[in-house]
Structure formats: structure tokens, C-alpha cells
């Protein structure tokens, strides 16, 4: 069963914040006018939330949604919000090789489940074709529960599933701990990206003209299952300084700086009250007597992402 039949993606607060952070990062590195010249490739399902944001906030008019669930074809076509979204039917590993890769792209493959070997085929296709200054991001379940049975780990099954993409120095905690597993996913993806770009750069003699990948996103969130998102830009080595050392607080150049999105459970009146005292330094905000009745941990979580925090309300006609 498709995940959109189990979870309403419109009402996932951490996912909502992740989308807004991605938009802010894209604006930061490309500028609003620059973003509008990009094409977007993603996985829309029946909600198309990221497509709506890309179009409304960045002005992107050329978008491709890869859809594998042909059983719900009529429903997906009905829910497509804009005519500028081109639906491509099939699995990512079948569709991606047949796309037109001319022009700069923003790619976000927001996979439903855990990391699988076909995702590395997607990486190879994408980085073999992406033009410089394009953006890539992927999201998947942050755990490897399939290979863990209580305290025992099935290394053979892991190596068999991921074959050449499996690291030779795999540590047990990388599979057993949801805090450690994002680093394993990141390492495996970086290895595949480097291998693909090395092949692509083989015919380029000048070092400064070679393509490199710069990490910008290492992000973990949880609305149910723990999820991990990883992404960045592909650019020429001589242009790397354009993307490095950005001051936006949500950019994470390595997994040690993993951005962890957690959303507190708050009432709408509590949110309205806290907003009245923001922006303010975190220390001053947490010490406000007017907010003493709100749990400190809830205030801390809200403070970190208050600009992106969704506000859901039921409207009764």
C-alpha cells in the first residue's frame, strides 16, 4: 500500500518544516530569480506539497513528478495542482534514465521506505547527467531494522542487498542505532556520488573544471518513522566558494552537524502567545515569566523552528 494511503502528508509538522527549510536554502544559494530558471524533479503522489511550494514560492514552472502507483493513476491525475507538472509513470530507476537532462535541475527524491540498492542506481543516473550548479536531495527511512534482530545483525543480508555499495568497514552500531544510521546512509551515498563524478571527470584535464559535490543538507526528522534527508549541489571546483561557508543556520556540511527537527505539542493560543515575544534571544525567550506555564522543552523546540512551524486549524462552516 502506498504511504499516502496511511499518512496524510499535509499534516506532518516536521515534514512541513523540512520543506520550508529546503525552500529557504534554495533561495539562499540561487536567489529567487535564479530558482525560477530551474526545473524540478520529484515524487508527488496525491498531495504534491513540494511541487506546490516550488511553484508558488520559487516560481518554477517546469516540473516532473515520477509516479509508480498506476493503480491510483486517475486519483493522482485529478490531484495534480498545476498544468506545468508533467507526470512520468514508472519507477525512478526506469524513468530517470529517459528524462531530458538539458538545463539546471533541482531533484528531490523523497522515498517512502528504507535505503535500497536501486537508489544508488538513481544516484548514478542523476550525477551522470546533472549540469553544474544543479541541486540533489534524497530522503528515506533512517533505520535498517530489516537487518537487526534484537542484538543480532545479519551482515550477510546487508552485503547481499547492497553489493558493491556496502562499506567494507561496517560497524554494528551503524545498523542498530537510528542516531548512527544517518552517517552510514550519508557515507554510502557520498561514495557513489564520488565514483560517478570521477567517471564523469575522467575526460576533463583541468582540475578546476572538474565537477564536485558540496553537501548542504544533513537533516533528521520524525512524524512517525525516523527519516533522514541528504543533499547538496554539484558544481565545478573553481566555483565551490559560491556554495561554501553560507551563513544560513539550516545548512549542514557534514553529518556531525545533523539538523534534528522536532516539533512540540502546543495549543494554538500558546503558539500565538510565544510569537508575540519573537524574535528574541533564546536565553531571554526561555526566561520570560509570561511563558512560565509552557514546558521548557516545548519552548526550546518551538524557538528553533518557529518561523517554519505550521499552524493547523479546523474551519467549521
Runs of H (alpha helix) within the chain: 13-30, 32-35, 49-58, 73-79, 92-95, 118-129, 155-162, 172-176, 181-201, 268-275, 282-286, 296-304
259 within 8 A of 250, measured Cβ to Cβ = yes
Q: Which of 5-9, 134-138, 199-203 has the lowest mean pLDDT?
A: 5-9
Q: How far apart are CA 35 and CA 59, in angstroms?
A: 7
More confident residue, 256 or 273: 273
Give 106-133 pLDDT, tens digit per residue: 999 999 899 999 999 999 999 999 999 9
List for the chain the helix, strand, coil content (%; round to 5).
45, 20, 35
pLDDT > 90: percent of the chain: 79
Give 181-221 pLDDT, tens digit per residue: 999 999 999 999 999 999 999 999 999 999 999 999 999 99
Look at residue 4 in the predicted model and tell me its pLDDT. Answer: 45
Look at residue 196 in the predicted model and tell me its pLDDT. Answer: 98
Look at residue 112 in the predicted model and tell me its pLDDT. Answer: 87
Look at residue 241 in the predicted model and tell me its pLDDT. Answer: 87
Element (H, E) at 110: strand 105-114
220 within 8 A of 177, measured Cβ to Cβ = no
Amino acid at each position: 500500500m502506498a504511504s499516502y494511503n496511511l499518512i496524510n502528508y499535509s499534516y506532518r509538522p516536521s515534514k512541513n518544516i523540512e520543506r520550508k527549510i529546503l525552500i529557504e536554502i534554495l533561495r539562499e544559494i540561487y536567489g529567487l530569480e535564479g530558482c525560477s530558471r530551474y526545473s524540478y524533479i520529484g515524487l508527488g503522489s496525491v498531495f504534491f506539497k513540494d511541487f506546490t511550494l516550488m511553484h508558488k514560492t520559487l516560481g518554477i514552472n517546469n516540473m516532473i513528478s515520477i509516479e509508480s502507483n498506476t493503480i491510483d493513476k486517475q486519483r493522482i491525475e485529478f490531484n495534480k495542482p498545476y498544468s506545468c507538472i508533467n507526470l512520468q509513470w514508472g519507477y525512478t530507476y526506469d524513468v530517470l534514465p529517459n528524462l531530458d537532462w538539458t538545463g539546471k535541475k533541482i531533484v528531490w527524491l523523497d522515498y517512502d521506505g528504507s535505503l535500497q540498492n536501486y537508489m544508488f542506481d538513481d544516484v548514478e543516473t542523476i550525477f551522470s547527467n546533472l549540469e553544474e550548479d544543479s541541486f540533489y536531495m534524497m530522503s528515506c527511512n533512517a533505520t535498517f531494522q530489516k537487518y537487526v534482530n534484537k542484538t543480532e545483525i545479519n551482515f550477510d543480508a546487508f552485503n547481499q542487498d547492497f553489493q558493491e555499495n556496502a562499506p567494507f568497514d561496517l560497524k554494528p552500531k551503524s545498523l542498530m542505532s537510528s542516531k548512527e544510521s544517518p552517517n552510514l546512509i550519508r557515507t554510502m551515498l557520498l561514495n557513489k556520488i564520488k565514483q560517478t563524478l570521477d567517471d564523469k571527470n575522467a575526460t576533463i584535464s583541468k582540475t578546476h573544471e572538474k565537477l564536485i559535490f558540496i553537501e548542504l543538507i544533513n537533516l533528521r526528522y520524525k512524524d512517525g518513522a525516523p527519516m533522514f534527508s541528504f543533499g547538496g549541489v554539484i558544481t565545478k571546483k573553481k566555483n565551490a566558494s559560491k556554495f561554501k561557508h553560507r551563513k544560513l543556520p539550516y545548512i549542514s556540511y557534514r553529518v556531525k552537524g545533523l539538523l534534528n527537527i522536532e516539533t512540540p505539542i502546543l495549543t494554538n493560543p500558546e503558539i500565538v502567545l510565544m510569537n508575540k515575544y519573537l524574535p528574541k534571544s533564546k536565553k531571554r525567550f526561555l526566561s520570560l515569566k509570561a511563558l512560565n506555564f509552557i514546558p521548557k522543552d516545548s519552548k526550546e523546540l518551538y524557538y528553533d523552528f518557529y518561523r517554519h512551524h505550521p499552524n493547523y486549524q479546523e474551519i467549521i462552516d
